[in-house]
Amino acid sequence: MKEDVSVKIYFVGAGPGDPELLTVKAYNILKKSDVVFYAGSLINPKALDIFKNEAMLIDMKSLNFDEIKERLESLLKDEVRRIISVLHAGDSSVYSSINEQMTYLEKMGIDYEIIPGVTAAFAASAANKSTLTLPDVSQTVIFCRGEGRTGKMPKGQDIKSLAKHNATMAIYLSFGIIESVAGDLLEHYPKETPCLIARDVSLESELLIDCLLKDVVKTAKEHSVKNMAVLIVGDALRGKYYKKNRSKLYDKNFSHSFRLKEGG
């Protein structure tokens, strides 16, 4: 295929679902895109209202990678098409297929840019009015998933191994194997550890459930929570109730280059 340097591809993070959570840059790119590839099974249909009326929309939900490449190569022969966007749910850096797509574009000499989006764990934490880190409780967040159909986890990256750190864990795409995940977590976290089950965050169907680790399996089943949800685990979720675990940043007894502590 002949290289067309006038074409640019934008990988756009759609965030958790609410179009208002798109970045301004993402919104502006989508607004002027001539072609938009998107996964209809994951993208909120309201996001499609952003595109201009004459934009070509290509739903990828039933396409494999070779079929997507065929569509793209056909479009690149059409010099009228200048701006092409690929709309990904959440953020493209977390559990997406963007790596193989970038590799293909670089091989073909096609320019591209990545525009980040809000990932589910961040949106869930905000909707729940909680934080993922808390002084003296958790200063580490682990993004992970259980072992499923996509293959075995790299050595040391399975849920049981990661749970040893007792950090905050944001577990994606794992409610299909929630019994196994909960069992692995309970080997290292106390059964009273707070959890947040978050599904459809930012959408009208949003479901946020605070529960204890010992009740995660029962709670997920009661609310028919399937795979496309995130589980957040860790004591940082109790943050609103820990009066002693305050940030040092605005503490009057803590100084830094812009502020001296009182009496200092």
State pLDDT tens for residues 241-259: 555 655 555 555 556 555 5
Top-level class of domain 8-115: alpha beta
Amino acid found at 35 = V
Q: What is the pLDDT of residue 5?
A: 46
pLDDT in tens, 10-48: 999 999 999 999 999 999 999 999 999 999 988 999 998
Flag whether the pTM goes above 0.75. Answer: yes
- Give domain limits for the chain: 8-115, 120-241
pLDDT in tens, 44-96: 999 989 998 889 999 999 999 999 999 988 887 776 557 899 999 999 999 98
Same fold, 8-115 and 120-241: no
pLDDT in tens, 140-149: 999 999 986 6
Q: Residues 6 or more apart from 236 whose CB is under 8 A from it? A: 130, 131, 132, 133, 134, 137, 138, 168
The CATH homologous superfamily to which domain 120-241 belongs is: Tetrapyrrole methylase, C-terminal domain (3.30.950.10)
Inter-residue contact 243 to 229 (CB < 8 Å)? no
